[in-house]
Copies of this chain bind each other. A is one copy, B any other.
Amino acid sequence: MREIIDDIFDIEGSVLITGVLVGGKQVDIAISEAGTIVGIDEKNGARDAVEAEIVVDGSESIAIPGLVNTHTHAAMTLLRGYADDMPLQDWLTQKIWPLEAHLTGDDVYWGTKLACLEMIRSGTTAFNDMYFFMDRAAEATDEMGIRGTFAHGFIDLSMEEKREAEIKATETLVSHIKGLGNPRLTAAVGPHAVYTVSPDGLSWCAGYAKEQDIGIHIHVSETEKEVVDCVAQYGKRPPALLDECGCLTPRTVAAHCCWLDEADCRLFAERGAHASHNPASNMKLAVGRAMPYHHLKDAGANVCLGTDGCASNNNLDMLEEMKIAALLQKFSWNTQTLLPAGEAIGIATAGGARALGIGPGTLTVGAPADIVLIDRRKACTTPLHNTDSNLAYACNGSAVHTVLCSGRFVMYDRVVPGEAAILKGAAQAAAALVQRAEEAE
């Protein structure tokens, strides 16, 4: 694994990973040219499944399924560190929104390139994105080789004119993404939240998502105020309102979900909606309550994991997010056994894949070959009494050395093609953005 094969990022061929640790066992993984896992075997059986063009020695690695970041605003990498540690309203109105008012499509392109670079480096192969200029986000993601689901952030503030504009923007984006015909890139509808989108807007989103056979990406019950205001205005809690508008579906990813009560959790389970846990953001913004993972689990609802955007995290490292999730659940609900290591990995992989409809999110025959190889020769993987524990509690994304998405290498032995140019382009875009905003003041 020390020698870089010059053209490894260009080869569209079958791959064999030999002797890699999966769930405590040393296995071979065979990947077809089409990017699917076609063999996985302890006793070298997988070696016969393909005539591999590329053979990777996995003997010093642990393999896990690609991590799935189910809630982010990728291009907000450009705002990383621009404003922190402020009261929420001041932070939004004095810092984040004024800067975002100057965002261009090029900024979103560079911000998403940086986000994809960071995600690849830390083992994420798919993400659920909501922001502006999403055609440019999709362009960046296409170039980087991972999977993205793109939603235009739909905000109508109960104004019909605004709603019409958002409908048009949503339709344009969905049509654009579908037109690309790239199986790694999918569109979703992105109603922002119950406090920024009218019931009419929510109903349109639900109907359009159904018609287009695409997902819904929305913020739900992030703060207590959101719940209290929703009950005051509509006489029901956010999940019930969303359900009435048709927005709680098996293709809905609901971010945050901090203030769900037990009945909300049962409704999520009944509708098959997915709850995306975003613990770092929830802690940083002091939302006052952790997602009730135990109630969602008891109800049988699917829980997945996300980092939120870099203004409120401030990174996209899903291994770090896994640890913060496992710690926050234990601490918040006063239960040392809640969200154990294996489940933390599960919500970051299988839970996310299920939420975004990209296969089982496991290393099994028939699954997309979204595979992350983690270095066994690091302090965080030494000793290795229990792989799940090392990954969930001791490692962060820097332990990842090689990543495949749909059977193609997007990082090999810590090399991501074009990294220096991405860092430079994103840094320049961020500096210019701040300068434009300051000049306009």
Contacts and interface: CB of A to CB of B under 8 A. Distances in A.
Contacts of A330: 283-286
A86 interface: yes
A121 interface: yes
A340 B390 CA distance: 29
A323 B307 CA distance: 14
A36 to B, nearest CB: 30
A85 interface: yes
Interface in A374-399: 377-380, 382-386, 389-390, 393-396, 398
Contact of A383 (B285, B326, B395, B426): B426
B383 A78 contact: yes
A315 B389 contact: no
Interface of A is mostly: helix
A282 B330 CA distance: 10
A228 interface: no
Interface residues of A, number: 67
A97 interface: no
Interface stretch (A139-147, A180-188, A331-339): A331-339
B282 A377 contact: no
A170 interface: no
A336 B286 contact: yes
Given A336-B85, A430-B385, A314 B283 contact: no
Interface string A121-137: 10000000000000000
Contact of A389 (B314, B378, B380, B420): B314
A384 B114 contact: no
B85 A118 contact: no
Contacts of A384: 81, 427
8 contacts: A82-B386, A84-B389, A286-B334, A313-B394, A315-B379, A328-B331, A382-B427, A398-B398
Given A84-B386, A284-B330, A287-B331, 14 more contacts: A86-B337, A87-B337, A283-B331, A284-B327, A284-B331, A286-B330, A286-B331, A286-B335, A288-B331, A314-B394, A315-B380, A320-B320, A382-B423, A385-B434
